[in-house]
């Protein structure tokens, strides 16, 4: 095929794909434009997960009538004039691609009026082509309505997730910008229901209450200020926000929220800095809760590294890392300095969350744990009593296939993570978490096949206060949750009552376990190509399985290996990771110079 230049409409749709990944991308770009326009109030409305309609209204500066058609030209912007401006970007938007990209893949209507003009202007576009332009009465500000997103790109539209999932992503965008700009009033409506709103009080704590709930917000501590030393200049990097006390943690990283100069970003180095600041304070496999804004000279950060502007690069990465770690660490240490009693495990945590080396607890918590320890002894068996109901090999349900492993003799444990076992052909190192995931996964699959999923009624139903995003995921996965053993009923708004849980989750705190499962489903940690019910089962097994860092007795290790030997696919966990590595006797002999 000869080289040729793509038609403009094809090139526009390809370029739009880099900016508009899903409906939430549209909301993000339009909200950023509203903030850059100086809005004090921003209203977002979405229907059918944003497929049918997205509307973002603001009371900002508006667009002059003669500039409205130009606003939809690619690379048209009022925020940059030269290459030098890229070195000090102070606005959220700057590329001039958002409106053109959104218009190229939707039917878009924009109505805008600056306060200095008596009437507004309305423009309509379909697939990036202007359909109409004329006067329109409107309040000062701008309203952008996006309808039938991806209607002209069926391939992209069919890859969108369920409306509830897409609505959850939209909710996350609005919530995060409300955290970044507490002085602005945000109002989010999903399918004609108010899902989130803030009062614009300028107090970040007020927004935290709306986003995370009062009980969680009460466990958040404001980061200490960094005053300059006498005779020195103010620090070039300032870290502000809130972090959770050590007892507040999650199974996923979804509550680690970062802003750089109030731009919402995903940055692994910032996440690593915060995690390091909690060293020895958190159980293994748990993650802190934090909302952090890093403020520094715009010349010291490059935001022009990703089409969606979600990633940044720092001129001095180590300095930023060190400052974040230092500020968070000092705040966490101060919050954890109340005299307490040391005990082995934190009450209320799932048994599979291994304790930190220096975890401390109040007297009341310690006393509560002592009362529960007797019951916890049986939970220490890791649910193997329930696993003994697995079908015997002779039933054919879990008959070993070509992947079968030989009978193994347990020798010990390494780093509280790997089980050392001897086989007839050498040494095996078994990842205890991955192996237990495989055992639990095949147990649930076998129970589903026989329509006898083990579920346990709770003595007292647990009331759950979910965020709108969590409620959306729960509603979308309600049938599958019931199939694996959960019994959940609506209790008004985003409140639900949990009446029963799968047998394998009995040792966990029910509310925490379900919240972690919903968070992982929302985060998309499981490959989306899997069926919805299989994704949920994999997530439940991951939450219930023992974790790295947990000491096992010889009997517990033997039980785990015994059940792994009976699995049909014992060499990988449900995620596809290996459960073990094998060192043959010949390899060992070579390493020791015996051959």
Arithmetic mean of pLDDT over the chain? 78
Q: Radius of gyration (Cα) for the chain, nearest Å?
A: 27
337: pLDDT strictly greater than 70: no
Nearest to 576 by CA among 533, 542, 540: 542
Least confident of 125-139, 291-305, 345-359, 576-590: 345-359
137: pLDDT strictly greater than 60: yes
According to the model, what pLDDT value does residue 84 have?
67
More confident call, 90 vs 85: 90
pLDDT digits (tens, 9 = 90+) for 244-262: 988 888 888 888 999 999 9
According to the model, what pLDDT value does residue 267 have?
86
For residues 446-461, give the mean pLDDT. Answer: 74
Most confident among 119-123, 212-216, 378-382 (mean pLDDT): 119-123
For residues 430-447, give the mean pLDDT. Answer: 84
Nearest to 120 by CA among 192, 65, 182: 65
Least confident of 71-80, 321-330, 547-556: 71-80
- Angstrom distance (rounded) from CA 400 to CA 571: 11
Classified as helix, coil or strand, 572 is strand
More confident call, 67 vs 252: 67
Q: Specify the fold of 384-582.
A: Ribosomal Protein S8; Chain: A, domain 1 (3.30.1370)
Collect all residues with Cβ–Cβ distance below 8 Å to 23 and sequence separation of at least 6: 46, 49, 50, 51, 54, 149, 160, 166, 169, 170
Nearest to 502 by CA among 560, 572, 567, 454: 454
For residues 495-522, give the mean pLDDT. Answer: 74
Nearest to 54 by CA among 130, 166, 197, 218: 166
Kindly give the pairing relationship between strand 238-244 and strand 290-295: antiparallel
Name the percent of the chain lying above pLDDT 90.
29
What are the structural domain ranges in the chain?
8-200, 219-337, 384-582
According to the model, what pLDDT value does residue 405 have?
75
According to the model, what pLDDT value does residue 177 have?
95
Nearest to 379 by CA among 407, 358, 352: 352
Most confident among 59-73, 229-243, 406-420, 531-545 (mean pLDDT): 59-73
For residues 513-524, give the mean pLDDT. Answer: 69
Q: Specify the fold of 219-337.
A: Ribosomal Protein S5; domain 2 (3.30.230)
According to the model, what pLDDT value does residue 144 have?
96
For residues 221-232, give the mean pLDDT. Answer: 65
Most confident among 82-86, 92-96, 185-189, 422-426 (mean pLDDT): 185-189
Name the percent of the chain lying above pLDDT 70.
76
According to the model, what pLDDT value does residue 506 have?
64
Most confident among 56-60, 85-89, 358-362 (mean pLDDT): 56-60
Q: Is 419 left (phi over 0), alpha (psi -120 to 50) or beta?
A: beta
Least confident of 50-59, 204-213, 300-309, 577-586: 300-309
pTM: 0.61
According to the model, what pLDDT value does residue 9 have?
67
For residues 360-366, give the mean pLDDT. Answer: 45
Confidence at 378, pLDDT banded by 50, 70, 90: very low
For residues 37-55, give the mean pLDDT. Answer: 94
Confidence at 566, pLDDT banded by 50, 70, 90: confident
For residues 63-69, give the mean pLDDT. Answer: 91
| β-strand partners of 130 | 125
296: pLDDT strictly greater than 50: yes
Kindly give the pairing relationship between strand 418-423 and strand 313-314: unpaired
CB 326 within 8 A of CB 304: no
More confident call, 331 vs 542: 331
According to the model, what pLDDT value does residue 377 have?
32
More confident call, 355 vs 110: 110
Nearest to 147 by CA among 33, 50, 12, 32: 50
For residues 70-75, give the mean pLDDT. Answer: 84
pLDDT digits (tens, 9 = 90+) for 388-438: 333 333 333 333 333 567 788 888 888 888 999 888 778 888 998 888 888
| CA triple 223-225-231, angle to 5 deg | 160
Collect all residues with Cβ–Cβ distance below 8 Å to 148 and sequence separation of at least 6: 51, 52, 106, 107
Confidence at 359, pLDDT banded by 50, 70, 90: very low
- Angstrom distance (rounded) from CA 173 to CA 191: 17
Confidence at 79, pLDDT banded by 50, 70, 90: low
Collect all residues with Cβ–Cβ distance below 8 Å to 35 and sequence separation of at least 6: 42, 92, 177, 181, 184
Collect all residues with Cβ–Cβ distance below 8 Å to 299 and sequence separation of at least 6: 87, 88, 315
For residues 207-222, give the mean pLDDT. Answer: 90
Least confident of 136-145, 276-285, 415-424: 276-285
For residues 354-374, give the mean pLDDT. Answer: 41
According to the model, what pLDDT value does residue 397 have?
34
- CA 387 remoteness from chain centre: 31
pLDDT digits (tens, 9 = 90+) for 98-119: 898 899 999 999 999 999 998 9
Q: Give the architecture-level CATH label for domain 8-200.
A: 2-Layer Sandwich (3.30)
For residues 531-535, give the mean pLDDT. Answer: 59
- Angstrom distance (rounded) from CA 365 to CA 387: 31
Most confident among 214-228, 390-404, 502-516 (mean pLDDT): 214-228
For residues 225-246, give the mean pLDDT. Answer: 73
Least confident of 116-120, 156-160, 234-238, 386-390: 386-390
Least confident of 83-87, 190-194, 375-379, 586-590: 375-379
């Amino acid at each position: 095929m000869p080289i040729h230049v793509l038609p403009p409409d094809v090139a526009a749709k390809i370029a739009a794909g880099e900016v508009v990944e899903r409906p939430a991308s549209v909301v993000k770009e339009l909200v950023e434009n509203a903030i850059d326009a100086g809005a004090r109030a921003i209203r977002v409305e979405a229907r059918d997960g944003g497929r049918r309609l997205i509307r973002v209204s603001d009371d900002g500066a508006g667009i002059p009538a003669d500039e409205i058609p130009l606003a939809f030209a690619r690379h048209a912007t009022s925020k940059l004039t030269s290459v030098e401006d890229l070195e000090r970007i102070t606005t959220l938007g700057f590329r001039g691609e958002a409106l053109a990209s959104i218009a190229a893949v939707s039917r878009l209507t924009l109505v805008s009026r600056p306060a200095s003009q008596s009437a507004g202007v309305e423009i309509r576009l379909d697939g990036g082509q202007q359909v109409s332009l004329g006067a329109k009465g409107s309040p000062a500000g701008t309203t952008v309505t996006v309808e039938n997103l991806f209607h002209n790109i069926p391939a992209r539209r069919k890859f969108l997730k369920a409306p509830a999932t897409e609505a959850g992503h939209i909710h996350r965008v609005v919530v995060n910008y409300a955290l970044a700009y507490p002085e602005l009033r945000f109002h989010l409506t999903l399918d004609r229901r108010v899902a989130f709103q803030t009062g614009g009080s300028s107090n970040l704590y007020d927004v935290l209450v709306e986003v995370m709930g009062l009980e969680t917000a009460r466990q958040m501590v404001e980061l200490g200020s960094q005053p300059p030393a006498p005779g020195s200049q103010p620090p070039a990097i300032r870290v502000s926000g809130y972090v959770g006390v050590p007892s507040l943690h999650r199974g996923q990283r979804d509550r680690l929220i970062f802003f750089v100069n109030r731009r919402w970003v995903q940055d692994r180095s910032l996440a690593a800095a915060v995690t390091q600041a909690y060293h020895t304070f958190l159980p293994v496999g748990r993650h802190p809760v934090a909302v952090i804004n890093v403020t520094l000279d715009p010349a010291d950060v490059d935001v022009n590294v990703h089409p969606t502007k979600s990633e940044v690069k720092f001129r001095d990465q180590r300095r930023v890392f060190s400052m974040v770690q230092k500020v968070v660490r000092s705040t966490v240490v101060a919050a954890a300095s109340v005299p307490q009693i040391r005990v082995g495990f934190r009450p209320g945590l799932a048994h599979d969350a291994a304790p930190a080396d220096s975890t401390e607890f109040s007297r009341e918590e310690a006393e509560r744990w002592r009362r529960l320890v007797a019951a916890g002894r049986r939970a220490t068996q890791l649910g193997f009593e329930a696993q003994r109901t697995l079908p015997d090999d002779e039933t054919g349900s879990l008959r070993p296939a070509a992947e079968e492993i030989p009978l193994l003799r347990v020798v010990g444990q390494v780093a509280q993570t790997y089980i050392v076992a001897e086989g007839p052909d050498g040494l095996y190192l078994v990842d205890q978490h991955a192996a237990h995931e495989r055992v639990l996964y095949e147990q649930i699959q076998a129970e589903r096949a026989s329509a006898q999923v083990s579920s346990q009624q709770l003595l007292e139903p647990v009331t759950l206060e979910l965020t709108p995003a969590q409620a959306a995921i729960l509603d979308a996965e309600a049938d599958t949750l019931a199939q694996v053993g959960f019994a959940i009923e609506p209790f008004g708004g985003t409140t639900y009552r949990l009446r029963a849980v799968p047998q394998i989750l009995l040792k966990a705190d029910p509310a925490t376990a379900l919240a972690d499962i919903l968070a992982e489903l929302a985060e998309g940690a499981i490959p989306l190509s899997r069926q919805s019910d299989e994704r949920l089962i994999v997530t439940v097994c991951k939450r219930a399985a023992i974790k790295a860092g947990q000491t096992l007795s010889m009997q517990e290790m033997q039980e785990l290996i015994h059940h792994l030997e009976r699995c049909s696919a014992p060499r990988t966990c449900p995620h596809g990771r290996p459960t073990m590595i094998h060192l043959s006797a010949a390899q060992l002999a070579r390493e020791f110079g015996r051959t």
